[in-house]
Structure 1
Amino acid sequence: MRPRTTGEVDLDTSVFRLDGVTKRYGDLVALDNATLDAGENEYISFLGPSGSGKTTLLRVIAGFEAPEAGRVFFNGKDITNLPAHERGIGFVFQNFALFPHLSVIQNVSFGLTHGKSGLNAAEIERRSLEMIEIVGLSGMQGRGVDQISGGQRQRVALARTLTMQPKLVLLDEPLGALDANLRGRMRNELRAIRERLGVTFVHVTGSETEALAMGDRVVVLDRGRIIQIGTPGEVYGSPASPDVAHFLNRFNLFEGKLAKGTFTGPFGAVPAAHAVRSDRDIYAVRYDRMQAVDPSAPVSGPAIRARFVASEYLGSSVMNFFEAGDGHVIEMEHHLSLGAPQTFEPRQDYLLTWNPEQAIVFGREVA
């Protein structure tokens, strides 16, 4: 499958480009003919399940892994065979990779102090303190890294990378160690840093919410292949395959049969004039597009009978869980900005219905 793309970058102005990159570990194909490019001051999110190739792709760009096939370009130069330390690309490791015997500021300034920055001690300290402030650690510069939390150590690692002022920063699950409040704050701060410094960020995450919130473009990977590239709005609103819809964790997916413009599933036969080509016949309905009504109520569109199981309050929305007769769990989301949520009787049956024009149909038989 060729990945669906929007807003493709002019190759003459791209910061980095991958052309047909393949990476294997024995019989395992970690990357399969990956092609991708990124422009200046762009934020790209890599999204996919564990083992999809996200981190391997980062490591190939950084130079920690060599591809068996394909080329890697950075700032217009072929760097496929260039050692990692000569690429000028920043990398924030998932395990922090800090020096435990050094203080926060000593870790942050390490690259400037021991590299070829040409800066004097006062300028190194100024730049390091600026980055410490940007990542929200002001006042902690003198502490040892064993005296701060895991989330704070993650931010030290980010500040250390940014002090080198790279044109490209690779972030491997950078928010994974942070609590929910700090994750929200750091999302905004990372984007502000990118815009302020004119840096391109490539951000690996297994969180669909994080990928959509952070990226100017989202790259979805599965089993070593890039299966969709697009803006967050396109990926969320028009997933290119059932797998993408599944990774987004925002769609109910129903198996069935697409034939002659009609999809037949557990809800009966529904017109499906427009479908996305796929190797499977799948009918997808977003959680927030579904409604529940009394089983005796008349409905004009498709509907499926399901028993209410439980509700979950998420702050800005409420998730309701229903179980169909075949055991399929169906989720329905209500945004509280639209008003008070419905209440449902435990273990009672309801009809779940939706506007078929808002569904996405995937199928092998596409006109």
Structure 2
Amino acid sequence: MSAVLQLSNVVKAYGDQRALDGIDLSLPDDSYVSLLGPSGSGKTTLLRVIAGFEQPESGSIHFVGKDIAAMPPHERNIGFVFQNFALFPHLSVYDNIAFGLINRVVNPVTDDKIVASKVRDIISLVGLTGLEDRAVTQISGGQKQRVALARTLVTEPKMVLLDEPLGALDANLRARMRSELRMIRERCGVTFLHVTGSETEALSMGDTVLVLDKARIAQQGDSDTIYNRPCSPAVARFLNCYNLFPGKLENDRFASPQGLLGFDGQPRKSADPAYAIRYDRIAIRPAGQIAAADEVQIEGTFVASEYTGSAVNAFFSLDDGRVFEVEAHLSHRAPENYEPHKRYALAWKREDALVFA
């Protein structure tokens, strides 16, 4: 698959603080790309540099084979959907969508029939038929999101940047809009670069997932690779599905506050040594039960459990005060009841552990 966007060693600083510190990435054409990262990691800055709203201190940006680093935003053919939608409250749904076509600097559309045809087609595409004359102050959050997207798509950009586009929506609507955004993108055949702080959103939507950490791309890959094989403790920690122990490698085991922990496979190189085990790879047993030869086992005191609908998360306090989390999917078995303040054995297969050293 050919690359639609390539960044090489892009640096953006505000004073002495680097918001982007040597960004290298290549994004495939006709794909959905999720950009995941904690607050302050540089996600929005990266979008603004790609769009041309911010100028980098150094590095190159090539879009559809052209160097666009010095090109103004309106000449880049890149759409931008803002988190707050940035709609014009005094204009109707139709006029908001038509605005970009009529008022753009490059090749504005002056023929009313062409404008009407293009707007009608994009309104149908995003599911707003029948709302053309409605004021944007009289439509729902999900409909506003579609208007903002339609206003961008009607100008036929080669790529669309979305800055946390689902952040202003309620949980049910967010879940529904995930699939709708993917369907809309597939019909248009353009690349979407979708910024989010939600690991669930990023993994469920992205054909490719980028993880941004401390102004650098920490990992790039498909959702399965990111989820099952995070490249560093920082990525594993941000995915919010791994228990991590600090420590160091000692021969073929990992020395941690919980003792020597076994593992299979090769440790991954990291400046931040850690032992990681995913929440849903852990079995809870009566304290004192003997572990199998291929297992690792520690003990903890049950604190509380949390029901999330599809799973139950149980929380245990370890001897050093660390909280240890276990996730049990309800599709696998009925939820267990654990006694508060009672000790339990927590066991997992050696092969399921990830070690960074």
Shorter-chain TM-score bucket reads: over 0.9
What is the TM-score of this pair, normalised by structure 2? Answer: 0.94
Match of 1:312 among 282, 306, 317: 306
Contact 1:23–1:32 (8 Å) recurs in 2: yes
Match of 1:217 among 182, 203, 208: 208
Matched with 2:17 is 28
Matched with 1:72 is 61
Which amino acid in 2 is paired with 1:121?
Answer: D
* Aligned-partner SS, 1:37: strand
Matched with 1:194 is 185
Is 1:332 matched with 2:323? Answer: no
Instruction: Show the 5 A alignment for 1:139-178.
Output: 139-178=130-169
Deviations 1:10-40 (A, max 9, x none): xxx3211101100000011000110111121
Mind listing any 5+ residue stretches in structure 2 that lack a counterpart?
none
Paired with 2:78 and 2:48, the residues of 1 have a C-alpha distance of 11
Paired with 2:140 and 2:52, the residues of 1 have a C-alpha distance of 30
Instruction: Show the 5 A alignment for 1:286-325.
Output: 286-300=278-292, 301-325=295-319
Deviations 1:309-360 (A, max 9, x none): 2221111111111111222111111111112122211221111111111010
Contact 1:266–1:304 (8 Å) recurs in 2: no
Paired with 1:135 and 1:309, the residues of 2 have a C-alpha distance of 47
Contact 1:268–1:302 (8 Å) recurs in 2: no
Paired with 2:31 and 2:110, the residues of 1 have a C-alpha distance of 28
Q: How far has the Cα of 1:266 moved from its partner?
A: 3.3
Q: How far has the Cα of 1:124 moved from its partner?
A: 2.4
Is 1:281 matched with 2:273? Answer: yes
Q: How far has the Cα of 1:238 moved from its partner?
A: 0.4
Deviations 1:208-249 (A, max 9, x none): 000101111111111111111111110101000000001100
Instruction: Show the 5 A alignment for 1:80-99.
Output: 80-99=69-88
Paired with 1:111 and 1:305, the residues of 2 have a C-alpha distance of 61
Paired with 1:130 and 1:177, the residues of 2 have a C-alpha distance of 26
Paired with 2:121 and 2:339, the residues of 1 have a C-alpha distance of 55
Which amino acid in 2 is paired with 1:27?
Answer: D
* Aligned-partner SS, 1:141: coil
Paired with 2:275 and 2:124, the residues of 1 have a C-alpha distance of 48
What is the TM-score of this pair, normalised by structure 1? Answer: 0.92
Contact 2:102–2:109 (8 Å) recurs in 1: no
Paired with 1:309 and 1:134, the residues of 2 have a C-alpha distance of 50
Contact 2:128–2:143 (8 Å) recurs in 1: yes
Contact 1:46–1:54 (8 Å) recurs in 2: yes
Instruction: Show the 5 A alignment for 1:115-130.
Output: 115=104, 116-118=107-109, 120-130=111-121
* Aligned-partner SS, 1:101: coil
Match of 1:347 among 326, 335, 341: 341
Paired with 2:110 and 2:350, the residues of 1 have a C-alpha distance of 63
Contact 2:305–2:315 (8 Å) recurs in 1: yes
Q: How far has the Cα of 1:184 moved from its partner?
A: 1.5
* Aligned-partner SS, 2:237: helix
Which is further off, 77-86 or 98-107?
Answer: 98-107
Q: How far has the Cα of 1:119 moved from its partner?
A: 6.7
Which amino acid in 2 is paired with 1:342?
Answer: E
* Aligned-partner SS, 1:128: helix
**Paired residues, number:** 352
Which amino acid in 1 is paired with 2:352?
Answer: Q
Q: How far has the Cα of 1:166 moved from its partner?
A: 1.0
Which amino acid in 2 is paired with 1:89?
Answer: I
Q: How far has the Cα of 1:134 moved from its partner?
A: 3.6
Contact 1:102–1:144 (8 Å) recurs in 2: yes
Mind listing any 5+ residue stretches in structure 1 that lack a counterpart?
1-8
Q: How far has the Cα of 1:96 moved from its partner?
A: 1.5
* Aligned-partner SS, 1:220: strand
Which is further off, 102-111 or 139-148?
Answer: 139-148
Matched with 2:5 is 16
Q: How far has the Cα of 1:99 moved from its partner?
A: 1.1
Task: Give percent identity, aligned residues only.
Answer: 55
Deviations 1:253-272 (A, max 9, x none): 11122122210223322334
Match of 1:137 among 123, 128, 139: 128
Deviations 1:274-316 (A, max 9, x none): 1010112201000000111000322222222111122211111
Matched with 2:97 is 108
Q: How far has the Cα of 1:120 moved from its partner?
A: 3.5
Contact 2:109–2:115 (8 Å) recurs in 1: no
Contact 1:267–1:302 (8 Å) recurs in 2: no
Superposed CA RMSD in Å reads 1.5
